[in-house]
Amino acid sequence: MRNIKRISIAVASVGLLGAGLAAAAAPASAGTPGSCASGYFCVYTDGNFDGAQYSVPDSAGYTNMPAAWHDQCSSWVNHTGRIWNVYDNAGRTVLQRVGNGSVASVPAGTNDKCDSVGPA
Ligand SMILES: [Ca+2]
């Protein structure tokens, strides 16, 4: 009887350990382009649509993002149905033209530079 109790505790511990590893394997906040609603252009502070998200409705047009968002973008999604640009330097430098779709990781040299977005 005593041995059976010990075995049960051991099995329960292994079960908890397994659950912990499974949880650790999946990113805590796995991003997806689907987090950007239809009709919006969205930027994210991390690659692969992770981190904080800033969404601009297509109807807003050119948008200078809040100062706290300047130089933060690491991925973006265009769900507006038309081409939008991602800008640096108050709209003077186009970092990327983005057709309808998603960019998981921004092009080399453009990470953490965007300040504004808007229709091309
Ligand atoms: Ca910038």
| pLDDT tens digits along 38-66 | 999 999 999 999 999 999 999 999 999 99
pLDDT digits (tens, 9 = 90+) for 5-29: 554 444 444 444 444 444 444 344 5
Residue 16 CA, ligand 1 centroid: distance in Å: 46
Rounded (to 5) percent helix, strand, coil in the chain? 30, 30, 40
Mean per-residue pLDDT of the chain: 83
Question: When comparing pLDDT for 33 and 23, which is higher?
Answer: 33
- Delineate the domains of the chain, giving CATH numbers in brackets: 33-119 (2.60.20.10)
Residue 111 CA, ligand 1 centroid: distance in Å: 9
Residue 60 tokens, joined: 């807003």
Q: In what order do the strands lie in the sheet containing 63-64? A: 63-64, 116-119, 84-88, 93-98
Residue 113 CA, ligand 1 centroid: distance in Å: 4
Question: When comparing pLDDT for 73 and 90, which is higher?
Answer: 73
Residue 81 CA, ligand 1 centroid: distance in Å: 25
pLDDT-derived band at 2, boundaries 50, 70, 90? low
pLDDT at 23: 43
Q: Please report, rounded to a whole number, the percentage of residues in the chain having pLDDT higher than 70.
A: 75
CB 85 within 8 A of CB 78: no
pLDDT beyond 80 at 109? yes
